[in-house]
Amino acid sequence: MSTSLANAIPDQVWYVYLLLCEHNTIYAGVTPSLPHRMRAHLSGKGARFTRMNRPIRLLAAKPYANKRSALQVESSVKRMPAQGKRILAGQWSEQYPVDQTTQELFARE
């Protein structure tokens, strides 16, 4: 009986996050590590969208039990209009406050 690598590694927490970017745009993404992903976006090594619309601050991040759940939510969020993303960010930031260390990454830029 063989065990695949995917079955051998337990699921980890994944985050769906919302970034306020230049031109008052909002970017939605997923990651298992918020600090690492925020540094990538800020250094220009993140998504093409955030290379063209520099991130200003992390609006919110919501944890999910696994990557699959996070990707499903991200897909829904990306289809929302900007105002819907802003409302969602407000709700998530109250329920799941972003830690100060991650938020401070934006203050350094």
**pLDDT tens digits for range 51-63:** 999 999 999 999 9
Per the domain annotation, does 28 fall within a domain? yes
Let me know if residue 4 belongs to a domain: no
Q: Which residues lie closer than 8 Å to 102 by C-beta, 6 or more apart?
A: 34, 35, 38, 58, 61
In a domain, 35, yes or no: yes
φ and ψ of 49, to 5 deg: -55, -45
For residue 75, the domain's CATH number is 3.40.1440
Mean pLDDT, to the nearest integer, of 85-109? 90
- Residue 109 pLDDT > 80: no
For the cut 50, the answer to whether the pLDDT of residue 3 exceeds it is no
* Residue 57 falls inside a structural domain: yes
Domain assignment of residue 1, yes or no = no
Tell me: the pLDDT tens digits for 13-51? 999 999 999 999 999 999 999 999 999 999 999 899 999
Q: How many domains does the chain have?
A: 1
Indicate whether 46 belongs to any domain: yes
What is the pLDDT at residue 97?
94
Rounded CA-CA distance 68/66 in Å is 6
Give the residue ranges of DSSP H helices in the chain.
Answer: 5-8, 34-42, 48-52, 67-78, 82-95, 100-107
Is 31 within a domain? yes
**Structural domain span for residue 76:** 10-107
Kindly state the greatest CA–CA separation across the chain.
Answer: 54
